[in-house]
Amino acid sequence: MSLISSRQKKTRAELRKYGLVMFAAFGVISGLLFWRERPAWIFTAVPSLLFLVFALALPGALAPVEKLWMKLAAVLGFIMTNVLLFLVFLLAIIPTGFILRILGKTPLKKGFSEDSSSSSNSYWIEVDKNGPGSRPEKPY
């Protein structure tokens, strides 16, 4: 399965839009750096102006840049999704499981009953007959 869209050829309008978005992004970064009196603003102002010129005059020339940028975005998206899922699991799911084990809680009510004198032949849990399933028009 490819991370990149199967559509390869971008229209001039799409490339122009890409160039203008990149112009705006680099322009905002340049403006912030200039406002904070950082000398590095020139290194983002030049690409910003180049994106503007190419977007308005020659949007077709932005095709290889856009293609490379989209590949990079797909790779970064794949990596960040996995990093975020790992962090959520590490910081939320695992501690919750440990706390529940320490407290002796079993939210799924798993396991067999140790009481052999139980007259119950089933582990089925009865639910309220007037619960949300009986009135689909009013699930609340």
How do residues 46-100 score in pLDDT, each as one tens digit? 999 999 999 999 999 999 999 999 999 999 999 999 999 999 999 999 999 999 9
Question: CB-based contacts of 62: which residues, under 8 Å, 6+ apart?
Answer: 15, 18, 19, 51, 54, 55
Cut 0.75: pTM above it? no
Tell me which residue has tokens 């849990």: 125
Question: Would the pLDDT of 119 be above 70?
Answer: no
Per cent of the chain over pLDDT 70 is: 81
Q: Which helix (H) or strand (E) holds 130?
A: none
